[in-house]
Every structure is written in C-alpha cells, then in structure tokens.
Structure 1
Amino acid sequence: MKKKKTRRTTLLIAALLLTGVFIIYLEEPRPRGTVETVTPAVQKSGTLTPELAGIAAYLNTQNITLGELVGKKVILVDIWTYSCINCQRTLPYITAWHEKYKDLGLEIIGVHSPEFDFEKNPANVARAVEKWGIQYPVVLDNDHATWRAFRNNYWPRKYLIDIDGYIAYDHIGEGAYDETERKIQELLQERQERLGISLAMPLELSTINAPTVNFRQIGTPEIYLGSEFTRGNFGSPEGLPHGKTITYFAAAERTPNNVYLEGTWTVGKDHVRLESDTGKVHLQFTAKNANIVAGGPSNVTTYLNGEQREQFRTSSSDLYPVAMEKEYGTYDLTLDVTGKGFELYTFTFG
C-alpha cells in the first residue's frame, strides 16, 4: 500500500457505561492500494503478515501497528465482529489467553470488521469491549481493508504471527482452542530463545467455563433478513422487496426453517423494521439455542411451543438470546413485539 501521511483526530466519546468512560481514537482511513507487509525481523521462508490497514478507530490503545511489534512480540490477530455469536463464543478463550500470556510476550489485537452498519459505530463497539472484558487493543476495520489484506472471508478468524513477522498459524471459526494455545506456547518459547531470555512458561492448558455447541445437531441455518442480505429461508409470501413498506398477514401454514412476519414492516438492505405498533415473528427451528441480532427501542415477549418464556427490551443494536433450551430439538418460536422501530437483522443458533 502506498503510504500517505495522515492527520490524526482524537475524539473523546464519554460512553457512560456501568464501569467507566471509554476513550476512542479515530484515524483517517488510508487510501486503498497494494497490500503492505511488515518488515521481517529475520528473512526466512513463509508468509509475512500484512500490516493493519484502513483503521477507523482504536480502543484500549492510541495507536498500534504490527510492524512495531515484529522482533519483540508474538501476535494473535483476532478478526471478529461484536454481534456475531460465533465470535462471542470464542472471546472467553481469547481474553483468558491475554491475561495468561501478556507478560510472556503475547500481544493480542482484535480486528473488528463489521458485518452490519451499526457495528461501525465506535461507541457500539466500545460497549461490546466493556461487556466482554476485553483489555487488549481493538482496532476498527470499518471498510474491511485489513480483512482484505489478510484475504479473509470468515468471522471469527485467528492468525498467530511469530516474532519474525510470519504467519505461523491460522484458524477459521470456533474450536481448536487447545491446539491454538499449544501453538501460542510454542511461539512464545521460540521468542525466548530468539531474545535470549528465560521466563517460566505454563505448560497446562486453560480451562474455560464457556458453552460448547454440537453443530451436527443444529438443523436450521443462519437466517438473514433484508433485501440484499437474505439467503432465503423467508416464508411470508409478500417477500422482501427492497425499500418497500409491507403489511404481512398471518400465514395459513408455516414451513420449518423459514421466518414469517405479521404486522407492517419496512424492508432494508440488511434488516426489516417494524412500522406498526405491534408485530410478530414466527420461526420453527432445530437447535438448542436461538439468538437474534436486533435493535430499536421495543419490548419483546418470546413464546416457545406456545408457552410464554422471556420478556426483554431491545435498546442498542446487539445480539439477544430468544431461546435457551437444555436439549437439542425442534421448537416453534414466536416473538411478540411491541413498539415501532424494532429492527431485526438475523437469527443464529447454537
């Protein structure tokens, strides 16, 4: 990438959260161009890591580059986005690794590459960073420049970069936590040998109290709403015409794994927004847990197999659990929504 000297502006956003105030540093994006790689500490065979590119803002740091860490640290780059359930399920492991290995030479950088427009808002990401107890640097890759530099296509994705600046490990999605941690230990040991230091390296693997998912028992795919994001799995015969405000009527019959709406909704590119005072969403799914990505100030009551379960209010745009069962199975879910302005983006399952 051609380097261009940029002017930094620092924006102080006082996010009055339960635990404090966030400082978010905003950076003018660099122009697009060829991928810039770091300068290796030692020349050897392998794939050099690309540099961070197009960063719009920084959390938990005023500035950071991969190049400044080469020759000093082992780096874990975690590409994630805050409303992604798969990303959320990996965060307990990553935050634990940060705490365990930060003084042994591991630097974790969360690259927040948004899926939806609301995830570009620094204040929204700051709330998620606080919620998940993330203390390592997080950079906002709002235009996916770093995502493209790494040639990535997935959320989440983890890259381990050795002390010399080469990608030593690459994992897509959830899982392989023991394998990843062993690789962290291996690379940190290599770092010690390279720097001629000796630090006590824990040999035991981390024990994390986090939910596990049996993907073989999930029979419903992730379902997207909106005219451009939909992948199908929408059953209401009125469809999802872009930009139109549609009154959806109760369907006489409903097919499993398809979303059905009731009420008046406006169809956006990546979501549907409730325009009437009340509305309903129906879905028969096969899994143990179901979640929605939603926003807008509305009240939601959930029904599972006709039985009322939970009531909650959507405020900020985020992921909300709507079914948390003990066993995998097929369930009829209804969301009874009160309050116009409710926005529904996607269903995800676990």
Structure 2
Amino acid sequence: MRGEIKTAVILGVAIAAGVGIMSVYLGSIEQEDVPEFAVSPVDKSGFRTAPEIVGIAEYLNTTPEELDAKIEDSVVLYDIWTYSCINCIRTLPFITAWDEKYAEQGLLIIGIHSPEFEFEKDPENVMAAMVKHGIEYPVVMDNDMETWKAFENRYWPRKYIADHEGYIRYDHIGEGAYQETERIIQELLAERSMAMQTSMPSQDLVDLESFQHTSSRTPELYLGYQLAFGRSQLGNEEGFRPNQAVTYGSIPETPEIHKFYMVGKWQNGPESMKLESDSGEIHLQYFAKEVNIVTEGVGTIHVYLDGEPITAEHQGYSLNGHILDIAEPGLYNIVASNSANVHMLELRVMTPGIEVFTYTFG
C-alpha cells in the first residue's frame, strides 16, 4: 500500500477544473448596498460531493462542532499535506495568503494532515510546524489516513475545492498552478456571493514568487526499507535487511548518481535508517539546487560537499556553518545552491540514535 502513495509531482496536475463560465451582471443596488447578481446556472450532476472528515485524532485551531458549522455554506479548500513534505511546505505561503485574503469572503481552508512518518502523528510537532509557517486556519490530524481514504487520495500535497453547496469543483495534485487555483477560488466565491447576496470577492491575485524547480533533478530518496521497496536507491551491496542492524562498509570508487551509500552500523527500519555505531556516514551523488533531509533524534551531523566542509555558497538555511544541530523531528535544508549541478554530498552523523528518513531535492 505504501508503495502506491506518492509525493506529488513538482509542477502539479490539475485533475478537474469544473467551474462553469459565469455571465455576471450588476443589478440594482438595495438599501443595504448589497449588489444583485445573475449567473448562468452550473450543471453539477457530474460532480461528487466532498466526503465527511472522519477518523480525526486531533482538531487544531478548531473543534469538531465549530468546523462542521464553518463548512456549512462555505467554499472549502481541503489541503492534504504533511509537515515534513517539502512539496507541501512550498505551497503553504500561497495557502496562508489565500486564507488571509478570502476568509472573510466565505473561503474556509482545512488542512488535512495525513502523516507519512510516525513522528508526524505527534500533535506538538504539528502545532510547532503550524506556528512556523503561520497557519491559522483549522488543521485536522488524520493519523489513521481515514479522511485520506475517504477522498480516495494517493498524493502529497493535494488540494480539493468544494463550492458552497459541497460539490468538489477543482482538484489539483502537487505544487504550482497557483493563479489557476486562485481564479477557481474567486469564481466559486462569486457564485456563493450571488446565491447568498453578499459582497463579491477581490479579483486581484496573490503576488508571491513561486519556487522554480530543477528538471532532471535527483528524485526523492527513501531510507526506510518499506518506502524504498522496488526503488533501487540504496547503493551498498549489503542492501536492505528489514528490522536488522547492518554494518555497511566503504563506498565504491565510482558511486552511482541518485543512490545513497551507508557507512557504519545502521538499524534498518520500515521508515528510516537509525545509527547504532558511535558515528556513521551517508554518501550521495546528486543533481539539484537544493537538498533537504527528514530526520529525528538529538545530535549533530557534519555536512561535506565534494570532499570539503560545505561553504557559505552552498549552505542550507538549517546549517550553522557546516554543522546541522538536530533538536526535533522534521525537515532540514542542508544545501541551497544558486544553480543545479552534480555534487558529492557526505553526511557525517556524529550521534548514535539519529534517524534519517528521506532526502528531497529542488
């Protein structure tokens, strides 16, 4: 099952944009200064209704009763995400901006936090991520993936937008298409305003710089044997040995690009590699501008690029010099170059008990 779950493609895919073309005219002004509109009716027989939010472990920034009341008559953007997913993180500036801009006009954003890793089920970790990214809208913790299943979803991130009558009118996988998505929000809010005799939404668009991705970059790499199944991403000849502690030897003279190589004694877990020896290493030849890792534990990792301590030219924002101090589980940016290139990245893990889950690239 986990092999079928995917982090969404970088540029994203619009599955269905079912907003009808509206013919709108401004009618007479009532005493309350509420404009009267006419709109061509939209045939909704081909749209499904948004499923119920079910199986929730925690409600953040809301309560079940409050959320049910807010959904009624709102245009609802359901954002399926998880806080250590870099693709999800890159969408958040747009989503939080839409919340600030359109919440009073009838848009309700609900973050459906469906975790990829066990540590993402901790509400304190999720709340810390919400504070970090300025998330003030409701977030529900879908720890057992019940709402994920109700939406028949397979991707992080994914956005569904339902109109004020509960019909899903838009479905987008991954990043990108921000202007398209905002236009859909505006059109559905306009439909709502006409139906409910409220003010029309603003027609300008959020102006944020979208992250530009590197084509042909190294794909996401999984260090847990369950998530890495069938991907051929571990380069060591010892391979994965599920639920065993494996001592990995030296790396080959000519390592393959897009594969990682372990050195030291590592416990092979379903989601991660956990260091058991006093120190260990992970070597990776990659092609990208940015490199991030998802890790858990308390300790330090020393970061080397092309055989030398990483320099300011390439340092990620999570580093202090060439050192990564890990204090909480999550995503850490370790490389942030100005352009994409091939580099040999070496992580020298200095603390037993550190777990590494994934590498992601931009």
| Bucket of the pairwise TM-score, normalised by the shorter protein | 0.7 to 0.9
Aligned to 2:289: 288
Taking structure 1 as reference, are residues 115 and 64 closer, same or farther at Cα in structure 2, changes over 3 Å only? farther
Q: Contact (CA 8 Å) 1:227, 1:269: kept in 2 or not?
A: yes
Amino acid aligned to 1:225 = L
Deviations 1:225-258 (A, max 9, x none): 1221112210111111011111111123321111
Amino acid aligned to 2:358 = T
Q: Identity rate of aligned residues, in percent? A: 48
Using the alignment, how far apart are the partners of 2:244 and 2:208 within structure 1?
46
Look up the SS of the partner of 2:111 in the other structure: strand
Look up the SS of the partner of 2:156 in the other structure: coil
Matched, 1:124 2:125: yes
Deviations 1:112-147 (A, max 9, x none): 000011111111111111111100000000011100
Aligned to 2:238: 238
Amino acid aligned to 1:59 = L
Q: What's the TM-score, normalizing by structure 2? A: 0.82
Q: Contact (CA 8 Å) 2:306, 2:343: kept in 1 or not?
A: yes
Aligned to 1:221: 219
Question: Equivalent of 1:336, from 338, 348, 358?
Answer: 348
Using the alignment, how far apart are the partners of 2:280 and 2:198 within structure 1?
63
For CA contacts below 8 A with separation 6 or more, give which structure has more relative contact order.
Answer: 2
Moved over 4 A (4+): 64-67
Look up the SS of the partner of 1:99 in the other structure: helix
Look up the SS of the partner of 2:64 in the other structure: coil
Deviations 1:83-113 (A, max 9, x none): 0000000000000000010111100000000
Using the alignment, how far apart are the partners of 1:99 and 1:188 within structure 2?
15
Aligned to 1:96: 97
RMSD: 1.6
Using the alignment, how far apart are the partners of 2:283 and 2:249 within structure 1?
12
Amino acid aligned to 2:222 = Y
Q: What's the TM-score, normalizing by structure 1? A: 0.84
Q: Contact (CA 8 Å) 1:52, 1:66: kept in 2 or not?
A: no
Using the alignment, how far apart are the partners of 2:275 and 2:155 within structure 1?
30
Aligned to 2:155: 154
Give the number of aligned pairs: 306
Aligned to 1:63: 64
Look up the SS of the partner of 1:269 in the other structure: coil
Using the alignment, how far apart are the partners of 1:71 and 1:140 within structure 2?
21
Using the alignment, how far apart are the partners of 1:149 and 1:207 within structure 2?
33
How much has 1:43 moved relative to structure 2? 9.8
Taking structure 1 as reference, are residues 229 and 87 closer, same or farther at Cα in structure 2, changes over 3 Å only? same
Within 5 A, what are the aligned runs for 1:200-219? 201-214=201-214, 216-218=215-217
Aligned to 2:169: 168
Using the alignment, how far apart are the partners of 1:67 and 1:164 within structure 2?
14
Aligned to 1:255: 256
Amino acid aligned to 2:235 = G
Q: Contact (CA 8 Å) 1:264, 1:276: kept in 2 or not?
A: yes
Deviations 1:57-96 (A, max 9, x none): 0111122577544552110000000000000000000000
Q: Contact (CA 8 Å) 1:51, 1:66: kept in 2 or not?
A: no
Runs (5+) with no aligned partner, structure 2: 1-41, 311-321
Using the alignment, how far apart are the partners of 2:333 and 2:284 within structure 1?
14
Q: Contact (CA 8 Å) 1:74, 1:162: kept in 2 or not?
A: yes
Aligned to 1:298: 299
Matched, 1:324 2:328: no
Q: Contact (CA 8 Å) 1:92, 1:210: kept in 2 or not?
A: no
Taking structure 1 as reference, are residues 71 and 266 closer, same or farther at Cα in structure 2, changes over 3 Å only? closer
Amino acid aligned to 1:83 = S
Using the alignment, how far apart are the partners of 2:296 and 2:102 within structure 1?
36
Using the alignment, how far apart are the partners of 1:176 and 1:340 within structure 2?
42
Q: Contact (CA 8 Å) 1:51, 1:67: kept in 2 or not?
A: no
Amino acid aligned to 1:53 = V
Look up the SS of the partner of 1:108 in the other structure: strand
Using the alignment, how far apart are the partners of 2:165 and 2:210 within structure 1?
33
How much has 1:172 moved relative to structure 2? 0.3
Q: Contact (CA 8 Å) 2:105, 2:199: kept in 1 or not?
A: no
Amino acid aligned to 1:228 = Q
Q: Contact (CA 8 Å) 2:225, 2:271: kept in 1 or not?
A: yes
Q: Contact (CA 8 Å) 1:299, 1:311: kept in 2 or not?
A: yes
Q: Contact (CA 8 Å) 1:80, 1:112: kept in 2 or not?
A: yes
Amino acid aligned to 2:208 = I
Runs (5+) with no aligned partner, structure 1: 1-41
Matched, 1:349 2:361: yes
